[in-house]
Structure 1
């Protein structure tokens, strides 16, 4: 039995600052249309459809141009919706992070690379994807392609996986602030300390903070965000997580304009914003 979840907000506010040209949303998803892209029976939640057109309207409102389409768990390893979204957005402004398992050989991965894929996501939180047991073997395969490995895990899993993650031969991108919750210690959480050590060792990380917060206006995540930016200013990325899946009520769904305002507070200097929104994504994703 899957649970329903609300969709994105119908209206997005305008941020109180203007992002630089070619700003990048490094984490979003497309859902549907479901008659063309049917949902996986192994999914954990059932969201409303979230179209490319609705996403582009949000981007226009907050000043984003480039996009990283991340394969959501509701589609398992069927990456058609994600790769088709990249084609629709344009290869000059979009890339894909896909979900595969060890049944995908190098030829299959190269074929997806020609469609804009440049990374593979392991989702240990939502499941319905690549088993963590395949992490090291797939990391070797990704290194041969010049791809990165993206990990979404709970804070405790970050601690347990740290030795494996530290020796991966391919770039590592850590989702959603390492899965650390402010209610579980924030800066003092062992998972966050592991995240900072991995950043010090060369990992990348996404500043998608609302999932870590106790709730709107998400002010409690600021110290974590600032610590991540200080640790790796040239390897921090930012994403909306549009359309904000896995939440329970419409009241919980963030306003993406407010999320952009939060980034402005975490990174007040123009050079920081340029790095996080433009330069860092351009290096990692090949824009």
Structure 2
């Protein structure tokens, strides 16, 4: 298993305070290894990225809500997510890996749902989990029964193919990482154009994440700003933000997490836009109480 770079252990406070009840719509939890064994054939693991470290990061950044997304490292065993949700409390939700819908009994899926899992992520190829078309169909049936959303993790080279099974669903679909567009192609990038087309359907959402890895220019990642702004303009009520902490499979040192949040501030310089992306939109998608309605 190759070694990847760890997260910056010293996050700073961002330059702009977040609105109350702001949400990190995607982060992962890893370890400790002796408690959560890595599945055979796992492509990667991350050191020291526990729920306690995640919650400390959120406190520093000003985040009060979050969604723990199951890493492929653990396959269909979601104990790390279940324990993370129990530790984090009612302001947190979970997103399963879709592989669990292939193998787990109904009782386990009900347990995930009761714990706060509200979606299933279909991982990109190359991360150690493969689902056949039949597996995907079965998984989507389970998603409908549970009332969950679908999350699609794109790969930059096969997004148009990978998104095909999810284009006409009657459940919410979240496209991770802005669809992994190529900034060198600008607004004409095929992946970006496809995401914009899907946003027109009214049931597709997009996560404004991974700008630092999508960028071809490097810090301060100016080349991804117009792409993100195009997505916000297309669907201001269906854009969310996720840190992707602890930044798995990083082949170079990840930036300070405050730098990534401040990149979002450049995507959305308007205070109202930020409130939607950090508070209102996640509340609608993940089932949090709206601000002023008993939200914690």
The reply to whether TM is greater than 0.5 is yes
Question: How many angstroms does 1:132 deviate by?
Answer: 5.3
- Structure 1 counterpart of 2:207: 206
Question: How many angstroms does 1:5 deviate by?
Answer: 1.0
Report the count of equivalent residues.
282
- Given the alignment of the two structures, is residue 76 of structure 1 paired with residue 75 of structure 2, yes or no? yes
> TM-score if structure 1 supplies the norm length?
0.93
- Structure 2 counterpart of 1:195: 195
Q: Do the aligned partners of 1:6 and 1:48 also contact (CA within 8 Å) in 2? A: no
Alpha carbon RMSD of aligned pairs, Å? 1.6
Question: How many angstroms does 1:125 deviate by?
Answer: 4.0
- Structure 1 counterpart of 2:94: 96
Give matches, 1:116-135, under 5 Å.
116-129=116-129, 131=131, 133=133, 134-135=135-136
Taking structure 1 as reference, are residues 282 and 130 closer, same or farther at Cα in structure 2, changes over 3 Å only? Answer: farther
Q: Deviations over 1:155-195 (max 9, x none)?
A: 34321244432212221011111122324x24322111111
Question: How many angstroms does 1:227 deviate by?
Answer: 0.7
SS of the equivalent of 1:222 reads helix
- Given the alignment of the two structures, is residue 223 of structure 1 paired with residue 226 of structure 2, yes or no? yes
- Structure 2 counterpart of 1:85: 84
Partners of 1:94 and 1:120 in 2: CA distance: 16
Segment drifting more, 71-80 vs 209-218: 209-218
SS of the equivalent of 1:25 reads strand
Q: Do the aligned partners of 2:6 and 2:46 also contact (CA within 8 Å) in 1? A: yes
Question: How many angstroms does 1:95 deviate by?
Answer: 0.5
Runs of 4+ with >6 A deviation: none
Stretches of structure 1 lacking an aligned partner (at least 5 in a row): none
Partners of 1:199 and 1:154 in 2: CA distance: 18
- Given the alignment of the two structures, is residue 233 of structure 1 paired with residue 232 of structure 2, yes or no? no
Partners of 2:248 and 2:182 in 1: CA distance: 17
Partners of 2:250 and 2:227 in 1: CA distance: 22
Question: How many angstroms does 1:120 deviate by?
Answer: 0.5
Partners of 2:262 and 2:163 in 1: CA distance: 32
Q: Deviations over 1:29-78 (max 9, x none)?
A: 11100000011122112321212222222112211010100001111111
Q: Do the aligned partners of 2:30 and 2:45 also contact (CA within 8 Å) in 1? A: no
Q: Do the aligned partners of 1:150 and 1:174 also contact (CA within 8 Å) in 2? A: yes
> TM-score if structure 2 supplies the norm length?
0.90
Taking structure 1 as reference, are residues 162 and 51 closer, same or farther at Cα in structure 2, changes over 3 Å only? Answer: closer
Q: Deviations over 1:107-137 (max 9, x none)?
A: 4322210011110111114433351523333
Stretches of structure 2 lacking an aligned partner (at least 5 in a row): 289-296
Question: How many angstroms does 1:142 deviate by?
Answer: 0.8
Partners of 1:210 and 1:106 in 2: CA distance: 39
Q: Do the aligned partners of 1:177 and 1:212 also contact (CA within 8 Å) in 2? A: no
Give matches, 1:11-90, under 5 Å.
11-90=10-89
Taking structure 1 as reference, are residues 163 and 54 closer, same or farther at Cα in structure 2, changes over 3 Å only? Answer: closer
